[in-house]
Structure formats: structure tokens, C-alpha cells
Amino acid sequence: MTKQQHIGWDFNNSYTTLSERLFAKQLPAAVPNPKMVCFNNELANTLGLDFSTVSEDEKAQLFSGNLLPTGATPIAQAYAGHQFGHFTMLGDGRAILLGEHLSPNNKLFDIQLKGAGQTAFSRRGDGKATLRSMLREFLISEAMHHLGIPTSRSLAVVNTGEKVYREETHEGAVLTRVMSSHIRVGTFEYISNFLDVATLQDFTNYVIQRHYPELAKNANPPLALLKAVMDKQIDLVINWLRVGFIHGVMNTDNMSIAGETFDYGPCAFMNNYHPDTVFSSIDTQGRYAFGKQPEIVQWNLVCLAETLLPLIDKDADKAVKMAQELINSFPAIYQEKWWQMNGLKLGFTSISDKEKQLIEDLLSWMQNNQADYTNTYLAIANYHQQIDKKYTAPDFAQWHQRWEEALKTNNISLTSALNTMKQHNPAFIPRNHLVEQALDDVCLKKDATLFNDLLITGKSPYQAQANYKHLQTPPPDGDKGYKTFCGT
């Protein structure tokens, strides 16, 4: 007897009212022996879902795709995208959108099964996902959420009981991903390149109504949409830079119209500070390096702007001019927010040329000394407790003295500065070597101790946690030779 009526699903499925060329109806593939691996109770509560009367077995059936939630209308979405600068037709090749669930506070969330089998868009792929890559996404997306960064979230990971073949044999898994929507820049590119202007207009209206309803009455809603997406994406990349996050695969199909981080394939966190840091094995040219992320955001926005030109103005030249003016405002807006973010990391609420010089000198010092990005800000805040030679050296002591003098000049007390810093500098990030060890432990030894420790520290990343201090320590070799992979 199913307990689904007590769970509280409230599916809307508005996407299926759009043109049928935007999706393909698709049931998840049946899996032989699903077993729950992770379940996110906190997120379930946020969604207004109650699984207290649902058995572990039924939960596993539900989150593997063997059993559909009440009211779900499963589809695979069509989209295209520029991948490493090259345009290609894509689509959900291993993900199935169950529908849009309405939460008790009236927010709409996509509920998607990732790794749920082949779809009309799988091309030559098997549509499956590995347990390792799905656990990685669960861990890092939850860490990002608690860092205060807009992101997709993970509700569940289920071991499918199948083997998945990549370079090696892996256990198969399905992840339940939750986002405000999976609409991407690449969705607009698909419509612009393969469908008609009428469909583009209908879709743009839908996106505005769903994500930016206040823009509907704007004199030029498509242009206002471009501006709103630009603002969200600037704020997002500033947040990434604040915590040392490297997305690793910033293709236009991985850029959310709602300004949320998603697709955690080859992502990583920077330990030793260097703007050219790259970990992704497929990013051989460093296109998506840590410091290049802002210019890629702007590049992706140009792709979005190009799709919206027919809606911005019927006169093509006028449309180009209007879009260009807007995109050209990106660097100045970004730069101002970048200085502001770096100022807050040092306890400053306003920035003058003197503070800018202080920021630049600190970043140069970190780069020259191969200093840990996260721990350097903690060292500034706890300067007199430092035993690391880097932070007791004369050059750092000199910089620290200049910083204290700048606070006095700005009439900022040390206590006030430290409070500001604590809000903007995490004490804990998911350290790459620990993430890999945790995944090895779960997948090879069936030991989730470290994985759970990382989840616990990730829930309070701005709090010093004495019991978990060892999780704050970077690797001795500073990630030398570390590579990340797509996990597809």
C-alpha cells in the first residue's frame, strides 16, 4: 500500500504546456535493486514533503525512478549550448524532469532525476550516472547552499544495483536534483537556432512569468530579462570568487537563467591562491580557470543576448545597439562588486584607492607565497595565534600592520571588522583531497564517516569547529597534480 498521498507532492508541470519541441516525454529507466544512500531531510522539509511514513525501500523505489511521485509528468528537456566555445545540439541525455513541485511557501521547484536512463537526447550515452559522481554533487551542492551561494540542491542519492561502465566499472546511482528551474542560456540558444520567433516569444514570456514576473510590465521585457540575468550572474560569480570555487565547465548549457550554480561535474575549490588555477581534465586551455570565470560569464551573456535580438527590437540594428550597450556595462558593474566583495573579506564596508592597494598587495602576496586562499583570511583574523611561518614572516607582518592602520583610518574597530570578515570568509570549504578520500571511503570501503563529517562541517561553514579542525587543513602538496572529471 503506497503512502504517497501523505508525502505532500504538489506538481504543477507548466513546462509541458510549452511547445512540444522543447521536450520529449520520457519515463525513467527501471533499475534492478535500488537502495537509499543519502537523503536530505532538511531539504524535504523546505519542500513541504513528509517521508516519515514511507519505508526506506519505497523511498528507494521513488528516487530511483521505479515509482513515480503522484502528479509527476516525466520529460527530458531539449536545449543546445556552446561547449568550450563550440555550438552543439544537446538536451537531457541522462536526466528526467519529474515535474515542478509547489512548496508550502508558494515557490516552484524542479524535481529532476539525474542518471535515470537514456532519453531522446542521449546521443551515444547510456543515460546512467556513477555513485561516485552523484555523491560528489550531493556533497558539494549542499556545501554551496550553506555557504549562502545560489545553487541546485540534492534531495536523495540511490544506488541502482547496476554496474556503470566508464574508464572503470562503477556502481550506478540516481541523484534527485532540486532547482528553481533547469532553464539555461542553452535553452534559448536551442529555440533561436532550431525553432521560430513565435516560440521564442512564448518561451521568453514563460521565463519572465516564472522567474522575473516584475519585468512583465517593463517597456522592453526581453531587454529587462537580459539585464536581470546579467545582474544575477554577476552576483553568482562574485560569490564563487569569494569562496575560491571553480565551476570547471561554464558552458552556456550550464548557465542558469535563474542565477543558480549547477552541474557539479569537474568543479573544485582553490587551495593555494592563483587566478590561473584549473583542475578540470578537459579544460586543457584554461578557458574556465578561477580568474577567467567573470569574462566567461560575460561571453555567455553575449550568447543569450544574441538569441533575444528579434524580441528586443524589430529593427535589427537597434536591437544590437541596445543589447550591446547593456552587455558593455558588465565590466564596470562587475568590477565595483568585486572590490566590494574583497573589501568585506577584510572587514571594510567601503573601498577607496588605499583599500584597493591593500587588497591587490594581499592577493599578490598570496600568489607569490603559494598561500592558502581560505586560511589566509582566517590567519588575518587570528593573527596573533599564528605559528605558520608564512604568516609570521616580516612581509606579512608589514601588510597586517597596514591593514590595521587602514581600519583605524576608516573608523572601523577591530571587533567590527572581525564580525564582517566572519560573515564573508568561510572557515570550512570542501577540500578537494578530503572530498576524494570521502568518496573513495564510501564507494570502495562502504565507510561514510568522512563523507558525513564533511556534510556536518558544510552546514556551518562560517563557524570555527574545534572537533573538525583537521578538515580545514589544505593538502601538504597544495593539490599538485589534482584533476577533476566530468563524471558523465
Q: Is 272 helix (H, G, I), strand (E, B) or coil?
A: strand
Phi and psi angles of residue 453, each rounded to the nearest 5 degrees, phi first: -60, -40
Q: Is 343 helix (H, G, I), strand (E, B) or coil?
A: helix
Mean pLDDT over each residue of the chain, to the nearest integer: 96
Determine contact, residues 346/379, Cβ cutoff 8 Å.
no
Helix extents (H) in 91-181: 131-146
- Known catalytic residues? 253
Interatomic CA distance for residues 39 and 59, integer angstroms: 9
Interatomic CA distance for residues 268 and 335, integer angstroms: 24
Average of per-residue pLDDT across 391-411:
97
- pLDDT value for 5: 64
Query: Amino acid letter at 203?
Result: F
Q: How confident is residue 144, by pLDDT bands cut at 50, 70 and 90?
A: very high
Average of per-residue pLDDT across 216-241:
98
Average of per-residue pLDDT across 376-396:
94
This model's pTM is above 0.95: yes
Q: Is the dihedral of CA 284, 285, 291, 295 positive or negative?
A: negative
- Distances 35 to 39, 58, 112, 284 between C-alpha atoms, Å: 11, 9, 18, 37
Q: Which of 44-48, 279-283, 294-298 has the lowest mean pLDDT?
A: 279-283
Grid coordinates of 133: 559522481
Average of per-residue pLDDT across 398-402:
97
Phi and psi angles of residue 462, each rounded to the nearest 5 degrees, phi first: -95, 0
Output the DSSP codes for 84-99.
TTEEEE---SSEEEEE
DSSP 460: S
Phi and psi angles of residue 81, each rounded to the nearest 5 degrees, phi first: 170, 155
- What percentage of the chain reaches a pLDDT higher than 70? 99
- What percentage of the chain reaches a pLDDT higher than 90? 94
Q: Is 479 helix (H, G, I), strand (E, B) or coil?
A: coil
Grid coordinates of 210: 516564472
Query: Amino acid letter at 212?
Result: Y
Could you tell me which residues come within 8 angstroms of residue 174 by beta carbon, excluding any fewer than 6 positions away? 28, 31, 34, 63, 64, 65, 113, 114, 115, 116, 129, 134, 157, 158, 160
Q: Is 153 helix (H, G, I), strand (E, B) or coil?
A: strand
Query: Amino acid letter at 447?
Result: D
For 316-343, give one letter per residue: b (16+ CB within 10 A) or e. Answer: eeebeebbeebbeebeeebeebbbebbb
Model pLDDT for residues 153-191, shown as the tens digit of each residue: 999 999 999 999 988 899 999 999 999 999 999 999 999
Q: Is the dihedral of CA 5, 9, 10, 14 positive or negative?
A: negative
Helix extents (H) in 68-196: 131-146, 185-194
DSSP 75: E
Model pLDDT for residues 416-474, shown as the tens digit of each residue: 999 999 999 999 999 999 999 999 999 999 999 999 999 999 999 999 999 999 999 99
- Which has the closest alpha carbon to 36: 150, 145, 170, 131? 131
Phi and psi angles of residue 25, each rounded to the nearest 5 degrees, phi first: -65, 135
Model pLDDT for residues 319-361, shown as the tens digit of each residue: 999 999 999 999 999 999 999 999 999 999 999 999 999 999 9
- Which has the closest alpha carbon to 430: 379, 477, 468, 377? 468
- pLDDT value for 1: 36
Grid coordinates of 154: 540534492
Grid coordinates of 247: 565551476
Model pLDDT for residues 464-488, shown as the tens digit of each residue: 999 999 999 999 887 888 999 876 5
How large is the C-alpha radius of gyration of the chain? 23
Grid coordinates of 131: 555513485
- pLDDT value for 3: 55
Model pLDDT for residues 245-294, shown as the tens digit of each residue: 999 999 999 999 999 999 999 999 999 999 999 999 999 999 999 999 99
Q: Which is more confidently placed, 93 or 387?
A: 93
Average of per-residue pLDDT across 107-135:
96
Interatomic CA distance for residues 60 and 103, integer angstroms: 22
